[in-house]
């Protein structure tokens, strides 16, 4: 049997069925925008899935399919039109301390040191600096930036700045970490390094992660499951279980099984007349 033949489509409730409680529950999610001309534009249509506690899920789809819209709704920064979104069985109707976000650009404040940038969410949420500064230092150590606490953003490389962004997303100890193409602006070699670093951080922190990416190989390499979205209005075309051993290594990228997963997703997009 070929690697692509082993690719399995599993229902959105599968994580809970595997014995893990669902951290994220999305049911019948719809998002409709209104254009300046008064037209209704469907961005997301009937999106439903669960994510288990500690699971790493990636999302891929063509440009304009609603990936970023989905992420913003999960982050609580964009209102849904209809449907239900829950984190730890609590509805998400606005920004939540249960959710951390890492953006494509680190968006670091240039006048603040690395440590001060990591502590921004603590200030915004009016949490105890005395309690959270040791956590900020611990996360900087986890991402390999111990000794850089008093540096400024312009003294760091792009990869190092993104590590600060990851630390900032984790510092308030969210249950769920959202990542919006966090390595999209990095060169290929740095991106591979950061993928390995992200998996190391995830394996040690055991956070629940959803990462949006345009890169199919990146989606497969990182994930327990890949959510494949359709062109607008964004629907879930497939949810693919990635049966690759952990810890993941770059050598796996050249394996037949890895290639089978990537090929299957690309064929899906090609069948829709899309480049991937």
Q: Which two tokens stand for residue 23?
A: 């951290």
- 92 shares its domain with 114: no
Residue 18's Cβ-side half-sphere holds a number of Cα atoms within 13 Å equal to: 16
* CA distances in angstroms from 99 to 30, 70, 74, 176, 267, listed in the order given: 20, 14, 8, 5, 34
Provide the mean pLDDT of the chain.
88
- 137 shares its domain with 77: no
pTM listed for this prediction = 0.86
- 192 shares its domain with 241: yes
**Domain limits for position 169:** 102-173
Provide the pLDDT confidence category of residue 18 given band limits of 50, 70 and 90: very low
Model confidence pLDDT, tens digit, residues 33-88: 988 888 889 999 999 999 999 999 999 998 889 999 999 999 999 999 999 999 98
CA distance 135 to 132: 5
What DSSP element (H or E) covers 97? none
Model confidence pLDDT, tens digit, residues 217-231: 999 999 999 999 999
- 11 shares its domain with 69: yes
Longest dimension (CA), the chain: 57
How many domains does one find in the chain? 2
Tell me what percent of the residues of the chain surpass a pLDDT of 70.
Answer: 92
- 143 shares its domain with 203: no
* CA distances in angstroms from 221 to 7, 71, 215, 269, listed in the order given: 14, 20, 10, 18
Q: Is residue 276 part of a domain?
A: no
Tell me: pLDDT of 94 over 90: no
* CA distances in angstroms from 140 to 62, 88, 117, 263, listed in the order given: 34, 27, 11, 37
């Amino acid at each position: 049997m070929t690697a692509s033949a082993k690719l399995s489509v599993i229902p959105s409730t599968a994580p809970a069925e595997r014995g893990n409680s669902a951290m994220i529950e999305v049911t019948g999610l719809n998002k409709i925008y209104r254009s300046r001309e008064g037209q209704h534009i469907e961005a997301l249509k009937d999106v439903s899935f669960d994510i288990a506690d500690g699971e790493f899920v990636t999302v891929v789809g063509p440009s304009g399919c609603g990936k970023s819209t989905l992420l913003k709704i999960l982050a609580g920064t964009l209102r849904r039109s209809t449907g239900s979104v829950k984190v730890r069985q609590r509805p998400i109707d606005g920004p939540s301390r249960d959710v951390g976000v890492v953006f494509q650009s680190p968006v670091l404040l240039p006048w603040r040191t690395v440590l001060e940038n990591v502590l921004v969410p603590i200030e915004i949420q009016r949490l105890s600096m005395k309690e959270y500064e040791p956590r900020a230092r611990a996360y900087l150590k986890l991402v390999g930036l111990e000794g850089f606490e008093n540096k400024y953003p312009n003294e760091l490389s792009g990869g190092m700045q993104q590590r600060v962004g990851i630390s900032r997303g984790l510092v308030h100890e969210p249950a769920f970490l959202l990542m919006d193409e966090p390595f999209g602006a990095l060169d290929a070699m740095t991106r591979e390094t950061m993928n390995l670093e992200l998996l190391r951080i995830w394996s040690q922190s055991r956070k629940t992660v959803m990462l949006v990416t345009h890169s199919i190989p990146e989606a497969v390499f990182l994930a327990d499951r890949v959510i494949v979205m359709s062109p607008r209005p964004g629907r879930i075309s497939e949810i693919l279980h990635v049966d690759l051993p952990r810890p993941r290594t770059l050598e796996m990228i050249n394996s037949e099984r890895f290639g089978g997963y990537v090929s299957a997703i690309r064929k899906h997009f090609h069948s829709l007349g899309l480049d991937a």
